[in-house]
Each structure stands twice: as C-alpha cells, then as structure tokens.
C-alpha cells in the first residue's frame, strides 16, 4: 500500500485545515508508506500573488511538520521541485478526453459564470493531479469527498493509457478513507457554515497561530444554545453549534462523539467550554511552538523539503521513463 496526497499551500491555517486534513495525514503514517507534497503547481491555476505564494508554501510546510508529519518516515516535498509531475502531466494530456474534464464538478464550481475567463490550467488541473498520483504508482489517495471525482478520473486515465499503449504501467488508485474520519469543522459563529479563512468574522475560526488567551476567548464567545448537552448523538441533530463544538472536542482528544457525550451529558456550555479550550490549547500550544521554531529557521525547512524532493524524484523517475518509452519517446 502506497499513499500519495497533495495539499495546496494556502495561508491563515486554521483548526478546520488541521482537523479536517492535516491530522488525517499524520495518522496515516502509521498505516502506509506515504508521500505528501505541497501542490504549488496547482496553485498557479487561479490568480497568483508571488510573494503570498512564497510565504504560503513555507507556512504550509512548517504547519505539516509541526503537526506531526515526520520527514524521517514520510516523504514530504514540493511538487515544483520534482519536474516529473509536470512532464507526466503533459504526456497524460494526450490521454485525458475533453468530455471527461467537462464533467468535473470542481472546475464548474471554481470557474462559475466565468468559464471563458478561467485559465486553461484550471480546466486541466485534474490531469496534473492524475500525474501526481500515477507517477508514484500509488495504491491509495486520501482525499475528501470533493476530490473523489478526480481520483476516479485518475483511474480512467490510468486504464486508458495502459490499454492504448498495451502496457501494465499505471496503477489505478483507490480513494482512501484512512487515518480515521476527517472532522468537518464548522464556523464558531454559525454551525451551518464551514470554518473558513475567508469568513469576515475572525471570531469564527481558530488559527494555528492564535495565543492561548485568544483561543480561550474565541471558545467563550462561540455561539451555542441554552440547552445542556444530550446523552446521545441524535440529541445534537437540530443543534448545529452544539454538534460542532462536541465534534471539535472529539477530534482534538481522539474520542468519539458518544464518548464525549458520555462524559458531558446533562452539563451546560458553562462547564463544557472551559474543557474544550483546555483540550484545544493542549493540542495547539506545542504545535505553535514548533511553528515558531521553523519561522526562525527557514533554512531547516528548505533542507527538509529538498531531501524529500530528492527521494520523491528517484521514486518517480522509472515511471516517467516508462511512460516516455510507451509513447515512443525513449531517449
């Protein structure tokens, strides 16, 4: 079993990024050989602010390591540093069909009413993603619900290439729901909206850089209802804010919602919120310290990424060569 996954280097990382994606990767390291990369080439498919992109790449890399991605066990690298991603993507542009890409819902969502004004890169984004995966002959790709369609497209591309060129080169990957369930973290101000860096209210999200006092303050002010916590999960059905806070608590401590409710049933938020902020601080404080260390020593970060890129490049090289051979472009 070999796992490959990428994440776009966004800034202002918050609890939603951590519990929804990053900690799943961390747990996955115990289950499989893992390659994790910053999808910095994918970041070019929408408007680019070069200075911002440069800093987001460092921030995301630091956050991944600070959160527990272990560069000694997993291969952590930047997509840009392994040119084989872009090369294989170009080869696969000959295999992917317009009709397949036309069906991709993420392109439809991201381009919206401005299809004609979208970059070509945004349209072929899933082909680069397929190259990311097929280059390493990954068996499993941990992704959220929104990326499943891209993994299925990757399977289609792999199978068509193998058939067209009569080779047994690419491994059709499976989407992978390992590393435990990803927590869907909602806004602290509105239990029906996802926690997001673009929400105008800063009180709606907890950033990985927030001080302990600020974390406690945001939890104290989080929207709730006047009822005590119920004894079982179904009691949270019509209570999105309560459900969110209980979900966050469980994701942070590693408990199921049932276990959390078993401990807090019948208690109000006056008792639950302080416990929640303690748990959050216990998770985030050491993480924040490690982040600060990397901020102070960016050369260490660059060294880790360079070492990861080298390992990734040598794993991917034989697949790229074989793909060139298959299409008649041997050296």
Catalytically annotated residues? 110, 194, 197
CB of 110 to ligand TRP, least distance (A): 10
CB of 199 to ligand TRP, least distance (A): 19
Distances (CA, A) of 67 to 3, 220, 248, 271: 18, 25, 16, 28
Q: Distance (Å, rounded) from C-alpha 210 to C-alpha 330?
A: 53
CB of 292 to ligand TRP, least distance (A): 27
**Which two structure tokens, joined as six digits, stand for 17?**
């990024």
Region 27-86 residues binding ligand TRP, contact defined as CB under 6 A = 39, 42
- Contact code string over 136-175 relative to ligand TRP, x by CB under 6 A: -----x-x---x----------------------------
Q: Which is nearer to ligand TRP, 133 or 280 (by Cβ)?
A: 133
Closest residue to ligand TRP, judged by C-beta, is 6
- Contact code string over 224-263 relative to ligand TRP, x by CB under 6 A: ----------------------------------------
Residue pair 49/11 in contact (Cβ under 8 Å)? The answer is no
Establish if 132 lies at the interface with ligand TRP (CB under 6 A).
Answer: yes
From the list 3, 4, 18, 251, which residue makes contact with ligand TRP (rule: CB under 6 A)? Answer: 4
Residue pair 77/309 in contact (Cβ under 8 Å)? The answer is yes
Residue pair 28/34 in contact (Cβ under 8 Å)? The answer is yes
Supply angle C-alpha 101, 106, 112, rounded to 5: 100
CB of 74 to ligand TRP, least distance (A): 14
Q: Which is nearer to ligand TRP, 63 or 219 (by Cβ)?
A: 63
Q: Which is nearer to ligand TRP, 57 or 236 (by Cβ)?
A: 57
CB of 231 to ligand TRP, least distance (A): 37
Number of residues that bind ligand TRP (CB under 6 A): 13
| Residue 324: DSSP 8-state | H
Q: Which of 328, 270, 295 is nearest to 60 (CA)?
A: 295
| Residue 20: DSSP 8-state | I
Residue pair 13/21 in contact (Cβ under 8 Å)? The answer is no
Q: Which is nearer to ligand TRP, 31 or 278 (by Cβ)?
A: 31
CB of 37 to ligand TRP, least distance (A): 8
How distant is the alpha carbon of residue 87 from its chain centre? 24
Q: Which is nearer to ligand TRP, 59 or 132 (by Cβ)?
A: 132
Chain position carrying tokens 């008649």: 328
Judged by CB under 6 A, the stretch of 45-53, 126-134, 240-248, 308-316 that binds ligand TRP is 126-134
Find the Cα–Cα–Cα–Cα dihedral 47, 86, 38, 187, rounded to 10°.
50
Supply angle C-alpha 7, 8, 9, rounded to 5: 115
Q: Which is nearer to ligand TRP, 143 or 279 (by Cβ)?
A: 143
Would you say the C-alpha torsion 300, 303, 305, 311 has a positive or negative sign?
Answer: negative
Binding site for ligand TRP (CB under 6 A): 4-8, 39, 42, 129, 132-133, 141, 143, 147
């Amino acid at each position: 079993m070999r796992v490959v996954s990428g994440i776009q280097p966004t800034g202002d990382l918050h609890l939603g990024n951590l519990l929804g994606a990053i900690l799943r990767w961390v747990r996955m390291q115990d289950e499989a050989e893992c390659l994790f990369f910053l999808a910095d080439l994918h970041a070019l498919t929408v408007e680019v602010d070069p200075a911002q992109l440069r800093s987001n790449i460092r921030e995301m890399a630091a956050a991944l390591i600070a959160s527990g991605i272990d560069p000694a066990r997993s291969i952590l690298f930047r997509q840009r540093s392994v040119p084989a991603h872009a090369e294989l993507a170009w080869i696969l542009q000959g295999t992917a069909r317009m009709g397949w890409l036309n069906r991709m819902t993420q392109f439809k969502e991201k381009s919206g009413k401005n299809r004609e004004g979208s970059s070509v890169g945004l349209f072929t984004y899933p082909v680069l993603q397929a190259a990311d995966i097929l280059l390493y002959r990954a068996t499993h790709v941990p992704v959220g619900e929104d990326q499943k369609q891209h993994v299925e497209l990757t399977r289609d591309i792999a199978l068509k290439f193998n058939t067209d060129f009569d080779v047994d080169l690419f491994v059709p990957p499976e989407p992978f729901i390992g590393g435990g369930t990803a927590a869907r973290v909602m806004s602290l101000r509105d239990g029906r909206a996802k926690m997001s860096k673009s929400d105008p209210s800063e009180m709606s999200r907890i950033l990985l850089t927030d001080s302990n006092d600020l974390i406690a303050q945001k939890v104290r002010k989080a929207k709730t209802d006047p009822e005590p916590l119920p004894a079982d999960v179904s009691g949270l059905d019509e209570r999105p804010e309560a459900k969110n806070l209980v979900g966050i608590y469980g994701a942070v401590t590693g408990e199921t919602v049932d276990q959390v409710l078993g401990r807090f049933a019948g208690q109000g938020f006056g008792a639950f919120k302080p416990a929640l902020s303690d748990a959050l601080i216990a998770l985030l404080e050491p993480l924040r310290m490690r982040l600060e260390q990397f901020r102070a020593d960016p050369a260490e970060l660059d060294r880790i990424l360079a070492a990861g890129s080298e390992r990734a490049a040598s794993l991917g090289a034989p697949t790229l060569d074989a793909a060139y051979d298959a299409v008649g472009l041997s050296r």
